[in-house]
Amino acid sequence: MPITYLDKTKTFKLDTPNTTYMFRIVDDEGFILHLYYGRRLTDENIDDLARIEEPPFVPSKNNRDRGSFMDCAPFEYPGHGLGDYRDDAFSVINEEGYSATSINYKSYKILPGKPKLPGLPATFANTNKNIEQSSDKQNSICNTLEITAEDSANGLEIILSYSVFEDVDAIARSVRVRNTGKYQNIKLTKVLSASYEFYGDDYDTIFMHGTWARERNIDREHLGYGKHYVSSTRGESSHQEHPFIALLSSDANEDYGDVYGFSFVYSGNFIAQAERSQFDNVRVTMGISPVDFCWNLKAGEEFCTPEVISVYSDAGLGKMSRNFHDLYRNHLIRSPYKDMKRPILINNWEATYFNFDTEKLISIAQKASQLGIELLVMDDGWFGHRDNDSSSLGDWYVNENKLKGGLKYLVDEVNKLGMKFGIWMEPEMISPDSDLYRAHPDWAIQIPGRTPVMSREQYVLDLTRQDVRDYTFSQMEKILKSANIEYLKWDMNRQLTDLGSALLGAESMGELYHRYCLGVYELQERLITEFPNLLLENCSGGGARFDPGMLYYSPQIWTSDDMDPVERLKIHEGTALVYPLSTMGAHVCDCPNHSTGRTTPFETRGYVALSGTFGYELDVTRIPEADRNMIPSQIKMYHRYNDLVRSGDYYRVASYRENHEWDCWEVVSKDKSEALVTVINVIGRVNYKSRLVKLKGLDPDKIYSLKVFNMETAAEDEEFLRLRGDALMYAGINVKGIYHGDFKGRLIHLNEVTVQ
Ligand code: DGJ
């Protein structure tokens, strides 16, 4: 049973395959105190870890020092203003102006499966392909514990939800707050999704930070005293900071040590914080950022938070990542494309920018189809009078000056070449220079009397409004139904400012950020319901909304506008810390690269793009002949290895981010019969020996045959080595011949050999 309640000690025990999470109810007031999170336990008698038999003692024994108890007890969900000076998870303003909250246990229930979170993306119990929520509880491999607590002074019920997965080491937590009517309205000023308690003075944290074209850099620090956090108040999860935090033992590395990973299934403002307090209690909190958040909860209403996923690994960061990958592949992404090879696309953005017409796109498609590319994506610039980025967002009608004959003509022509067609839209935006803005200036998020902050010469549509969402959806629907469009890139190129909505009113303006995010989710849900076979790729000025929330709607997300393969090594490492390779939009770029000005071998650009969804973003009619001639080989490479890349276990072997010289990653099939190793030598070295690479994740007892993929022949060379898994992992192999010159790469394919 993954969830057990021990009546004697009022203890709850949650077990995943390899982990245990425990907390208990103490004292007459029903404090909910954390006991343990870590390696799976068979013994459950650890209630002593709540330390209630030690000074300052629980209030029923020592009310004189209640404040001291409050300030050190390991609360499962800490309230506000009643003596716990560490950061809280929950605060309000009630009708009398009081902000304090307390969370006191009332009851529990255990539910089969995992209830949906209304209007929000969330993991689901059933792994049946593409079935979001188990109607057949028999198939469910997840159970949910709901703890109902109360804050009677505020007339609130707080439901702490824990969903425990049986096939992966992950627990999903979220919170619901219900106004039971003591007050007609309570303002929720902070409702985090989860809080976790640890104890110790030797933890590190990992956060991820970045900027446009440099997303998700890994930043590891020793956890000192005080609060350490990342957050976004930009209205999206952002390029700058990421809704993820890892807490790890300071000796943990890729393959060794205790690691706790926390990932927030949300695409808007967030906070992810670790706080080390006076007694070396460590509190990790995560949820919607309280900045500019104020939600009115009327009597009888309920507010539901997004969920946080926690993963524990006893074997370093690599195992944590693989847990997240399995969870997100099997329990979050719903798209029918999830387990499918995605069509190899060619996107015209860096090929033409805004300078294209029907003829140009068809010429790209003609060449691309001859080479084996399967999908043409027409990016920004096809609508209104958009010849640069300063107009027309919101005017979703085809610019027939560019697309002579219209959209359907173009799509039909592309289809005739045997290619699919995809389109770009930025549905959340409105240009001041657009018919839409001229007709509905109040549809933009802005504050009357202030000059709105422009970004990329555009404003954000007020998606908190149903009328704006309905209009936006109708425009998208019209375009998508006007031709055989099989792919949509949903872009979002600016962050929110000027928080003002013409309809929300003074009382509810603090709901804008979250309502905006809910509005985006509603639109995406309508889209995938109406167009279930559409391949949706989310994007936000590159990777500013690469988060688990978006994966609920789209199986892939554009990872970064920087496609330089060297820069991508770091970006992919950070992204794959949490997200499966199957989700990472990756293209072979033009050279010199438009972001870095760097020239890299075409071959290497392909190896790096292979670790994501794989596609091209260049003018295939104009690139050097030799590069173009390599495309059919790269396409064979993709078809040969993508099943493995998409569904296998990912291992980081060497990190260019750390060693500044080379990178290596490996994908191993679930049954360990096959593996693909990619080695990229970034900087050439003079007089250099072969490099020793110790492989990972293989079966020590299996014998493997090793072959190199040869780009010239588009096939694998003869076997160059045959070794048992133990030798490959513990002794390693010498990788030769890629050290003269910069940016060289190699693919090594391992296959199990059955010896008669
Ligand atoms: C930002 C995206 O990340 C790019 O790929 C491209 O679609 C541009 N927007 C178009 O404006």
The best mutation among 382, 457, 545, 561 to test binding of ligand 1, ranked by most ligand atoms within 8 Å of the C-beta, falls on 561
**pLDDT over 90 at 1, yes or no:** no
How much is the pLDDT for 598?
Answer: 97
Rounded (5°) CA angle 80-83-88: 30
CA distance 575 to 572: 5
What pLDDT does 353 receive? 98
Tokens describing residue 204: 């590190």
Q: Residue 306 pLDDT more than 50?
A: yes
Q: Bridge partners of 345?
A: 375, 615
> Residue 455: pLDDT above 50?
yes
Cα 229 to ligand 1 centre (Å): 29
Instruction: Provide the pLDDT for residue 85.
Output: 98
Residue 578's identity, in one-letter code, is: V
For residue 174, give Cα distances in angstroms to 31, 187, 194, 220, 371.
19, 19, 6, 27, 48
Is residue 35 scored above 60 in pLDDT?
Answer: yes
How many alpha carbons lie under 13 Å from residue 726 in its C-beta half-sphere?
2
**DSSP conformational letter for 724:** E
Calculate mean pLDDT across residues 734-756: 92
Mean pLDDT of the chain: 96
When pLDDT is averaged across residues 305-326 and rounded to a whole number, the result is 98
Mutate to test the pocket of ligand 1, among 236, 238, 380, 492 (most ligand atoms within 8 A of CB): 380
The CA distance from 465 to 443, in Å, is: 8
Residue-wise pLDDT tens digits, 205-239: 999 999 999 999 999 999 999 999 999 999 999 99
What does the alpha-carbon distance between residue 361 and residue 393 come to, in Å, rounded to a whole number?
21
Q: Is the confidence at residue 138, as pLDDT, over 60?
A: no
Q: Tokens 């091209």 identify what position?
A: 616
Catalytic annotation, residues: 491, 561
More confidently predicted of 353 and 44 = 353
- Does the beta carbon of 541 lie inside 6 Å of ligand 1? yes
Say if ligand 1 is within 6 A of residue 561 CB.
yes
State the DSSP code for 315: B
Question: Helix, strand, or coil here: 729?
Answer: helix
Nearest protein Cα to ligand 1, atom 2: 541
How close is the Cα of 545 to the center of ligand 1, in Å?
Answer: 13
Q: What is the DSSP letter of 71?
A: H
What are phi and psi for residue 164, nearest 5 degrees? -115, 120
Contacts of 28 (CB under 8 A, 6+ apart): 60
Reply yes or no on whether the pLDDT at 130 is more than 50: no
* Contact (CB, 8 A) for 296 and 511: yes
- pLDDT bucket at 129, cuts 50 / 70 / 90: very low
Q: Which of 619, 81, 603, 161 is nearest to 360 (CA)?
A: 619
User: Domains along the chain?
Assistant: 3-331 (2.70.98.60), 651-753 (2.60.40.1180)
Query: Which helix (H) or strand (E) segment is 309 a member of?
Result: strand 307-313
Report the candidate in 577, 451, 558, 446 with the shortest Cα–Cα distance to residue 512: 446
| Atom 10 of ligand 1, nearest CA residue | 380
Strand partners, 91: 190
CB 424 less than 6 A from any atom of ligand 1: yes
Atom 11 (ligand 1) nearest CA: 380
Judged against a pLDDT cut of 70, whether residue 248 lies above it is answered with yes
Q: Give 132's pLDDT tier (boundaries 50, 70, 90).
A: very low
- The pLDDT of residue 134 is 42
What is the C-alpha separation between 39 and 21, in angstroms, rounded? 9
Q: Identify whether the C-beta of residue 487 lies closer than 8 Å to the C-beta of residue 538.
A: no
Contact 373, 631 (CB under 8 A): yes
Task: Measure the CA–CA gap between 85 and 69, rounded to whole angstroms.
Answer: 11
- Ligand 1: does its nearest atom lie under 6 Å from the Cβ of 427? no
Tell me what pLDDT residue 639 has: 98
Residue 541 Cα to ligand 1 middle (Å):
6
Residue of 211, 493, 546 best suited for mutating to test ligand 1, as the one with most atoms within 8 Å of CB: 493
Q: Of how many residues is the chain composed?
A: 756
Counting Cα atoms < 13 Å in the Cβ hemisphere of 580 gives 28
More confident call, 756 vs 263: 263
pLDDT at 686: 87
Residues linked to residue 744 through DSSP beta bridges, in sequence order: 681
Atom of ligand 1 at shortest range from CA of 539: 3
